[in-house]
Amino acid sequence: MEIKNLKVLGERAAEILFPRKCPLCLKVLDEAEKMICKDCYKKISFTKEPLCMKCGRPLKSEEEEYCPSCQGYSGKIYFDKGVSLMIHDESAKKLLYDLKYSNIRENAKFLAREFVRKKYKEVLSWKADAIIPVPLHKKRYKKRGFNQSELLANELAKYFKIAVDSANLLRCVDTIPQKELDKSKRKKNIENSFKFLDNIVKYKYAILVDDIFTTGTTINECAKVLKKSGVENVYFITMSIVSE
């Protein structure tokens, strides 16, 4: 038997022995479903208009342009615009939690594919020359072994054909995880904890990638550093956004 046939046979055997399961309900998927089951797919809350023109959070009415959070943001907003794929509800939480803590990389593939299906045109219009994942501090990276934002950035880059730069934006302070802090302490916690090595690369338009957008302080702090390094426009992509 040819090697190629053996490989196909091996893959078939793996499918039978370890059938692909839905990442949300763990039901075995049928041929047509591929990445997630039909029922769970329907339950995902994908973001849809009207959305805040700045952060992409859902708005209560068509008449508004910006969400209350952007309107009342204490301090300067450095990023130009962002889009998120989903509202941060139970489905989104599970997909991202399993990617981050159980290293289920299929979730990154699924999320990137969905993102591209829904937001491709908008992201292309940004004409970005780099995709930059929000970095982890090197101590945390060593402990986890990977950066979930980098996995997402790599998957997205395959579709957008934009280079991923995960080397030059650094997190130089090992801060307390933002989710453990309330809104007022988040900003102080993350202030001045990023650095961009702008002597190495220069970008005109850059896209930051992170898993979740909550108050936006992390993205904004990264955007601040990029802007100070001369990047003209800073956009962001997050997989889910906490609705107000």
- Count residues contacting Zn ion (CB under 5 A)? 11
- The Cβ of residue 87 has, within 10 Å, a number of other Cβ atoms equal to 18
Site string for Zn ion, 89-128 (x = CB under 5 A): ----------------------------------------
- Least separation in angstroms between residue 208's CB and Zn ion is 15
- Least separation in angstroms between residue 72's CB and Zn ion is 10
For Zn ion, give the closer residue by CB, 24 or 219. Answer: 24
- The Cβ of residue 233 has, within 10 Å, a number of other Cβ atoms equal to 18
Site string for Zn ion, 19-58 (x = CB under 5 A): ---x-xx-----------x--x-----------x-xx-x-
- Least separation in angstroms between residue 43's CB and Zn ion is 8
One-character DSSP codes across 37-88: -HHHHHH--B--SSB-TTT-PBPSSTT-SS-HHHHT-SS-----EEEEEEES
- Least separation in angstroms between residue 38's CB and Zn ion is 8
Element holding 151 (H helix, E strand)? helix 148-160
For Zn ion, give the closer residue by CB, 72 or 177. Answer: 72
- Least separation in angstroms between residue 83's CB and Zn ion is 11
One-character DSSP codes across 76-120: -----EEEEEEESSHHHHHHHHHHHHH--THHHHHHHHHHHHHHH
Site string for Zn ion, 55-84 (x = CB under 5 A): x-x---------x--x--------------
Listed in sequence order, the residues at least 6 apart from 106 whose beta carbon sits closer than 8 Å to its beta carbon are 23, 35
For Zn ion, give the closer residue by CB, 24 or 131. Answer: 24
Identify the DSSP state of 137: B
Burial of 15 (0-12, 13-18, 19+ CB in 10 A): exposed
Contact residues toward Zn ion (CB under 5 A) are 22, 24-25, 37, 40, 52, 54-55, 57, 67, 70
